[in-house]
Amino acid sequence: MGFSPREVDQMTLWELAVAAHGWIKANGGEEETAAPSWEEHIAMVNAVKK
């Protein structure tokens, strides 16, 4: 993102997270996907167990 280590050290966690989110959005990053439903989660867990 172009920050020096000193700049990162001086940022709060919130500032760094917002900067990272903006950088990703500005550089064509994909939007976050929705979390699976409970049923989808259980189906994925059961598929791994087989």
Residues of the domain holding 31 = 5-49
Q: Say how far apart CA 17 and CA 24 lie, in whole Å.
A: 11
Note the pTM of the prediction, 2 decimals: 0.56
For residue range 1-50, list pLDDT tens digits in order.
999 999 999 999 999 999 999 999 899 888 778 899 999 999 999 999 87
User: What pLDDT does residue 37 have?
Assistant: 96
* In contact, 19 and 3? CB cutoff 8 Å: yes
Report the number of distinct structural domains present in the chain.
1
Q: How many other CB atoms sit within 10 Å of the CB of residue 15?
A: 12
For residue 16, which of 24, 49, 48 has the smallest C-alpha distance?
Answer: 24
**Residue-level pLDDT at 33:** 81
